[in-house]
Amino acid sequence: MEQTAEKSSNTLTNGGQVADSDIPKDGTGVVKLDPYLSPFKDYFRRRYAKAQEWMSKLSQFEGGLTEFSKGFNLFGFNVDKDNNITYREWAPNAVQASLIGEFNNWDRKLHPMKKNEFGTFEIIIPSRNDGQPAIPHNSKVKISLELPNGEWVDRLPAWIKYATQDLSVSPAYDARFWNPPAAEKYVFKHPRPKRPASVRVYEAHVGISSPELRVATYKEFTKNMLPRIKSLGYNVIQLMAIMEHAYYASFGYQVNNFFAASSRYGTPEDLKELIDTAHSMGLVVLLDVVHSHASKNVLDGLNQFDGTDHQYFHEGGKGRHDLWDSRLFNYGHHEVMRFLLSNLRFWMDEYHFDGFRFDGVTSMLYTHHGIGTGFSGGYHEYFGPAVDEEAVVYLMLANEMLHELYPEVITVAEDVSGMPALCLPLSLGGVGFDYRLAMAIPDMWIKILKEKKDEEWDLGNICYTLTNRRHGEKTIAYCESHDQALVGDKTLMMHLCDAELYTNMSVLSPLTLVIDRGMALHKMIRLLTHGLGGEGYLNFEGNEFGHPEWLDFPNAANQNSFWYARRQFNLTEDHLLRYQYLNNFDRSMNLTEEKYGWLHSPQAYISLKNEGDKVIVFERAGLVFVFNFHPTASYTDYRIGVEVPGTYRIVLDTDTKEHGGFNRLDHGTRFFTTPEAWDNRANSTHIYIPTRTALVLALESTIF
């Protein structure tokens, strides 16, 4: 969802931990880690002080950050043990308000609401004589507001938990009172898994998770996708497009109902079952949360909710995102802060999500939103008038709240700018995220495939981009994003093979040079990114097996077709197609990482980047990774440096038959090191490395 640019070229100069006693209490602790940030101490002090000021104010007036973030118990619809319903809505500009719905035949005279001095309307609706709620479960509701000019407008409650769309009637959503009887409420059975040391993320969209020409459901995802994701060796699922969004083709990024799980895929109880089932399998589930902007819809969104331009958003141009055609939150407003922090808490408490991938963080961090701006890595770009300090402070409070309440939570920032301290805790003056996405890496791979011949690949630049991250701040690497799967761009496999994906992926047809190259490089690019690119790894669903189609959601331009809005997982199950081999390799790669844990090990030591031979060698987590990107040359008795002496064996190989290769490597071979220094390593050994092949060696003692 972000515009992409080059990542910061700066890294922290000092490694290691900072003792608590050495941490300044004014938000400048980050300078202990990176002295180059010293000129910006005042900036860190100021934003830290603003965060502390917020927490002090919340402690004084709201019972603290923890209580403040439970706004869903105060606003929206709440039902007590006697089935009395309380409904509250903040609409300060409105003069009068009434609750209307199917339950009162949409008559605004029947249930008028009272307004308090803070602009909040309230109504308590007693239970019926039979003890049942006066508003039936799943019935339609709205709030009707009288504006200062005498006009009455109807709105969907801002905190509504379920909204449905009937396109045969109107594109606008209907708010529904979600209050299922006890027998129909999903009861969670499984605890949240522990946060994994290595995060291997499977990014998925429920609606496209089927080969069929329709929107898939939560229940189908639970039945069909969860076992698949687990078997592929992923341990984290990142669910996209869950927050109810106005337009399916927006990929979930035009949110109109922030507390509602999208009804396109089923009911809230179905989503709860999905998450609970994932937990039973040891899978962590993250929500792709969109707090960077909101749908500009008026009839079924937050825009002009109480008739003003500025209730939840900045007014005028400051409150509009020109490229996304959406509204921008006013993060400095008390009630907006309550709404957004409570939104995070709601998804954690109500649905048992395990954390969030925050969308569009670059847009939040800067007043220019990253539009028309390239980040060179100069520290001056991250501090000063271009930074939206109110948004930064919101993110600081959000991360602080989440990590305080949920010790195993995972938060990921989609930021292309490389802002320093984004992934350091608030105590050091950081923003508090656990990981940032390495957005420069997929850009690099696409640029190489578009512009360079194989023999022109610059291995030094590739390795630099893969390792160019701030020390002490964790990064999730990925080869290609969901944006690059959309029409107008191409996935890696489409760049590599293009039309031959449709004609030459059958094992019954000869292996062409294009398919051979494409499959080999697809595996090598993924393994190199996995091993070298970060402290986590992400894959968008279908890309693991080189999905032959791009993504194009139903819209007017394609006659509302679902042909490209689906993932053809059936291709991996057809043993006459070569997609199975890429799928097998993805599993092998993840399972090897699961055993050896390179993602949570220190950054790799690259001992060789031979531009002539096109060979890369690096060590990480006690493993030796060897890549031969040369398009034609294979090397026998190729000498490589190895730091730790011993006997090594192959534990992962892109060239096996199972992985669609030629089986040129003997996995029974034992590689003995000799105490002869090579490539700045204390020992060395000799290997056979075929053209366009990658292998991973491990000490023999670790294999069994």
Q: Check if 199-598 and 604-702 are the same fold.
A: no
Cβ neighbors of 563 (< 8 A, separation 6 or more) are 213, 552
What pLDDT was estimated at residue 16?
Answer: 46
CA distance 570 to 579: 10
Residue 523's region, left for phi above 0, alpha for psi from -120 to 50, else beta, is alpha
Handedness of CA 342, 344, 347, 353 (dihedral sign): negative
pLDDT for residue 17 is more than 80: no
Beta-strand pair 623-628/635-642: unpaired
Read off the pLDDT band of 128 (50, 70, 90). very high
Enter the tokens of residue 643.
Answer: 């730091």
Task: Please say whether the beta carbons of 312 and 302 come within 8 A.
Answer: yes
Query: pLDDT tens digits for 71-84?
Result: 999 999 999 999 99
In the annotation, is 359 catalytic?
yes
Which element (helix H / strand E) includes 357? strand 355-358
pTM recorded for the entire structure: 0.95
pLDDT for residue 12 is more than 60: no
Q: Percentage of the chain with pLDDT > 90?
A: 90
**Count of Cβ atoms closer than 10 Å to residue 577 Cβ:** 17
pLDDT for residue 487 is more than 80: no
Cβ neighbors of 342 (< 8 A, separation 6 or more) are 68, 69, 70, 71, 72, 75
In single-letter form, the type of residue at position 610 comes to N
**Count of Cβ atoms closer than 10 Å to residue 367 Cβ:** 13
pLDDT for residue 490 is more than 90: no
Among 220-229, 339-348, 368-377, 613-622, the range scoring the smallest mean pLDDT is 368-377
Query: pLDDT tens digits for 640-690?
Result: 999 999 999 999 999 999 999 999 999 999 999 999 999 999 999 999 999
What pLDDT was estimated at residue 18?
Answer: 60
Read off the pLDDT band of 171 (50, 70, 90). confident
Read off the pLDDT band of 10 (50, 70, 90). very low
CA distance 452 to 6: 18
| Per-residue burial over 644-670, b = 16 or more CB atoms within 10 Å of its CB, e = otherwise | eebebbbbbbbbbeebbbeeebeeeee
Enter the tokens of residue 434.
Answer: 């656990």
Mean pLDDT for 155-183 is: 95
Q: Which listed residue (203, 359, 388, 655) is catalytic?
A: 359
How far, in Å, are 272, 286, 513, 682 from residue 353 at the CA level? 9, 6, 45, 47
pLDDT for residue 457 is more than 70: yes
* CATH class name, domain 604-702: mainly beta
Query: pLDDT tens digits for 499-554?
Result: 999 999 999 999 999 999 999 999 999 999 999 999 999 999 999 999 998 889 99
Tokens 């984004």 found at? 422
Among 187-201, 479-493, 526-540, the range scoring the smallest mean pLDDT is 479-493
Beta-strand pair 410-413/671-672: unpaired
Kindly state the DSSP code that residue 147 receives in the 8-state scheme: -
CA distance 698 to 671: 10
pLDDT for residue 4 is more than 90: no
The closest of 365, 358, 473 to 425, measured between CA atoms, is 473
Task: Please say whether the beta carbons of 331 and 390 come within 8 A.
Answer: yes
pLDDT for residue 210 is more than 50: yes
How far, in Å, are 189, 285, 295, 629, 646 from residue 356 at the CA level? 22, 8, 20, 36, 42
Quote the crossing angle between the two packed helices 268-280 and 334-351, to the nearest 10°.
60
Write out the DSSP string of 446-457.
Answer: HHHHHH--GGG-
Tokens 């407008």 found at? 153
Beta-strand pair 120-125/114-115: antiparallel
In the annotation, is 480 catalytic?
no
CA distance 414 to 238: 13
How many CA atoms are closer than 13 Å to the CA of 532, on its beta-carbon side?
30
Enter the tokens of residue 272.
Answer: 């709860």
Query: pLDDT tens digits for 400-424?
Result: 999 999 999 999 999 999 999 999 9
Cα–Cα–Cα angle for 559, 560, 562, rounded to 5 degrees: 120
Query: pLDDT tens digits for 315-330?
Result: 999 999 999 999 999 9
Task: Please say whether the beta carbons of 133 and 180 come within 8 A.
Answer: no
* Domain boundaries along the sequence of the chain: 76-157, 199-598, 604-702
Cβ neighbors of 555 (< 8 A, separation 6 or more) are 249
Q: Give long-range contacts, CB 8 A cutoff, 24+ apart: 60-64.
A: 62/338
How many CA atoms are closer than 13 Å to the CA of 76, on its beta-carbon side?
24
pLDDT for residue 584 is more than 50: yes
Determine the straight-line distance between the first and last CA of the chain, rounded to whole angstroms: 44
CA distance 320 to 593: 43
What pLDDT was estimated at residue 21?
Answer: 66
CA distance 73 to 259: 12
What pLDDT was estimated at residue 160?
Answer: 98
In single-letter form, the type of residue at position 547 comes to H
Task: Please say whether the beta carbons of 213 and 563 come within 8 A.
Answer: yes
Cβ neighbors of 105 (< 8 A, separation 6 or more) are none
How many CA atoms are closer than 13 Å to the CA of 137, on its beta-carbon side?
11
Mean pLDDT for 156-185 is: 95
Read off the pLDDT band of 15 (50, 70, 90). very low
Tokens 């290609």 found at? 480
Q: What are phi and psi of 658, to 5 degrees?
A: -60, -30
Q: Which listed residue (414, 516, 619, 655) is catalytic?
A: 414
3-class DSSP state for residue 592?
A: helix
Beta-strand pair 236-240/284-289: parallel
What pLDDT was estimated at residue 484?
Answer: 79
Q: What is the CATH number of domain 199-598?
A: 3.20.20.80
Query: pLDDT tens digits for 223-281?
Result: 999 999 999 999 999 999 999 998 898 889 999 999 999 999 999 999 999 999 999 99
Task: Please say whether the beta carbons of 373 and 408 come within 8 A.
Answer: no
What pLDDT was estimated at residue 451?
Answer: 95
Rounded to whole angstroms, the maximal C-alpha distance in the chain is 90
Candidate CATH numbers 3.10.129.10, 3.40.1180.10, 2.60.40.10, 3.40.50.720; the one for domain 76-157:
2.60.40.10
- Kindly report the average pLDDT of the chain as a whole number: 95
Read off the pLDDT band of 168 (50, 70, 90). confident
Read off the pLDDT band of 163 (50, 70, 90). very high
